[in-house]
């Protein structure tokens, strides 16, 4: 073990004894136990892993984990299926790749979502670098509180999570906006990070910890943080395929086979991989000719969208200890049918948003709201409900995957 990992191992003794604790955002230094072992979440700097880093992560995921990497809604990368005994080797590998923070406290504070299409020298890059270098100036905050730097010509992250946000405003300048507030206050590029840190201190001092998140914190903002500027009109999501910075790949359900991802990086000549919160990777400086689907078994997400369907699925078995069902296999089968128009909905739901949610259990990690078709694992079978969330009253219970397909008219 390297000196770095030895020091980190000392700091993690308490965690090692109880890796099952929930309620925080797991990192590499504070992993979380899941169905097939530890989940280690890596937080990229500037939404970016270098080529060496991403290849190292993929190699480590194959050697010590389940051979998969997950993208999270906060634009982090997860390696899962890691036996506790392999954790020190993974920390060594990640430490040598420059992926670890000095300690778990700093790692926990680096909840920083960055617009992934920044370019060198722009406001997003400069502000993200500044904030990342000043994390020790932040107060203690609830574990899930996060920051957003979205200072390109038009904001891209308006629909993505973050409590304290620096965004492009409607008049072209920068604004600081608290989550849950429609409008923000104008800030200069030089003063933006100072103001964000000051707002975080106000949150802590005004009882924000009890609310947990800015969006639930009802205290009136300090006068200096009250503004009347809206964010600028949102930029469109990145389209899969060629991009001025490289090549955008979509990962259905946000998961990639680590070997396939490494192959795509090498074959494309990518210099880095940028991580988005939208189940997409941007392969920086990639040559054309890269498949935008890293998993060839997955239904073409463009075809699915063209057919008007969205499919969500959690990790399910064997990756999550709560699940006895293979959620993604069923979700892929349903996605293929939906893309081809081969799925039947009850007449009462003809106008409902066409969303399929396959959940390994009633917790419903993959989607918070109701879905037109909701399948929830219970034991080794599925419960089928319409226009429902996992755990709500079901239409039919205890179905095998084949029985689900039959009920939905998939042949």
Q: Which residues bind ligand SF4 (CB under 6 A)?
A: 314-316, 320, 322-323, 359-361, 363-365
Q: In the complex, what is the shortest distance from the CB of residue 358 to ligand SF4, in angstroms, rounded to a whole number?
A: 9
164 has which bridge partners? 147, 178
Q: How far is CA 50 from the centre of its chain?
A: 19
Taking the complex as a whole, the smallest distance from the CB of residue 405 to ligand SF4 amounts, in Å, to: 20
Question: In this complex, which beta carbon is closest to ligand SF4, that of residue 37 or of residue 88?
Answer: 37
User: Which lies closer to ligand SF4 via its Cβ, residue 199 or residue 331?
Assistant: 331
C-beta of 93 vs 335, nearer to ligand SF4: 335
Minimum distance from residue 366 beta carbon to ligand SF4 (Å): 7
Rounded to a whole number of angstroms, the minimum distance from the CB of residue 316 to ligand SF4 is: 6
Q: How far is the CB of 314 from ligand SF4 (least distance, A)?
A: 3
Q: Shortest gap between Cβ of 31 and ligand SF4 (angstroms)?
A: 16
Cα separation, 65 vs 75, in Å, equals 20
Q: What H or E segment, with its residue span, contains residue 333?
A: helix 327-339
Q: Which is nearer to ligand SF4, 18 or 368 (CB)?
A: 368
CB atoms within 10 A of CB 35: 19
Give the separation between CA 90 and CA 366, rounded to whole angstroms. Answer: 27
Comparison of 208 and 360: residue with beta carbon closer to ligand SF4: 360
Beta bridge partners of 304: none
Mapping DSSP to helix (H, G, I), strand (E, B) and coil, where does residue 201 land? helix
Closer of 235 and 321 to ligand SF4 (Cβ): 321
Least Å distance, CB 80 to ligand SF4, is 11
Sorted by sequence, the CB contacts under 8 Å of residue 17 that are 6+ apart come out as none
DSSP string for 76-145 = -EEEEEE-GGGHHHHHHHHHHTT---SSHHHHHH--EEE-TT--TTSHHHHHHHHHHTTGGGSPP--TT-
Point out the residue whose Cβ comes nearest to ligand SF4: 360
- 117 vs 312, which CB is nearer to ligand SF4? 312
By beta-carbon proximity to ligand SF4, the closer residue of 169 and 360 is 360
CB 337 within 8 A of CB 353: no
Contact 101, 107 (CB under 8 A): yes
Q: If DSSP states are collapsed to H, E and C, what string results for 223-283?
A: HHHCCCECECCCCCCCCCEEECCEEEEECHHHEEEHHHHHHHHHHHCCCEEEECCCCEEEE
CB of 239 to ligand SF4, least distance (A): 29
């Amino acid at each position: 073990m390297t000196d770095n990992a030895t020091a980190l191992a000392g700091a993690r003794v308490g965690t090692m004894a109880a890796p099952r604790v929930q309620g925080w955002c797991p990192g590499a230094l504070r992993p979380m136990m899941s169905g097939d072992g530890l989940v280690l979440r890596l937080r990229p700097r500037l939404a970016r892993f270098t080529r060496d880093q991403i290849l190292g992560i993929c190699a480590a995921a194959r050697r010590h984990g389940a051979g998969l990497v997950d993208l999270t809604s906060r634009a982090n990368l997860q390696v899962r299926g890691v036996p506790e005994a392999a954790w020190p080797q993974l920390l060594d590998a990640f430490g040598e790749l420059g992926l670890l923070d000095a300690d778990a406290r700093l790692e926990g504070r680096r909840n920083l979502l960055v617009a992934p299409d920044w370019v060198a020298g722009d406001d997003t890059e400069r502000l993200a670098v500044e904030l990342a270098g000043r994390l020790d100036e932040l107060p203690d905050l609830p574990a899930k509180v996060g920051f957003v730097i979205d200072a390109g010509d038009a904001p891209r992250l308006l629909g993505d999570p973050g409590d304290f946000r620096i965004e492009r405003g409607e008049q072209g300048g920068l604004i600081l906006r608290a989550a849950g507030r429609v409008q923000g206050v104008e800030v200069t590029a030089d003063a933006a990070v100072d103001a964000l840190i000051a707002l975080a201190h106000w949150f802590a001092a005004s009882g924000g910890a009890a609310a947990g998140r800015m969006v639930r914190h009802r205290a009136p903002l300090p006068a200096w943080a009250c503004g009347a500027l809206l964010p600028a009109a949102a930029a469109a999501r990145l389209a899969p395929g060629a991009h001025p910075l490289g090549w955008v790949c979509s990962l259905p359900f946000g998961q990639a086979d680590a070997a396939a991802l490494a192959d795509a990086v090498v074959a494309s000549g990518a210099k880095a991989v940028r991580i988005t919160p939208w189940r997409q990777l941007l392969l920086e400086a990639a040559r054309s000719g890269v498949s935008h689907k890293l998993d060839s078994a997955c239904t073409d997400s463009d075809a699915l969208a063209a057919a008007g369907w969205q499919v969500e699925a959690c990790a399910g078995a064997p990756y999550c200890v709560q699940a006895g069902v293979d959620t993604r296999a069923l979700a892929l089968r349903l996605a293929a049918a939906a893309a081809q128009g081969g799925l039947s909905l009850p007449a009462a739901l003809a106008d409902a948003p066409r969303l399929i949610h396959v959940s390994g259990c009633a917790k419903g990690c993959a989607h918070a709201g109701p879905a037109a078709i909701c399948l929830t694992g219970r034991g080794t079978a599925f419960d089928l409900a319409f226009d429902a969330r996992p755990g709500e009253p079901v239409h039919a219970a205890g179905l095998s995957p084949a029985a689900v397909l039959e009920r939905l008219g998939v042949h």
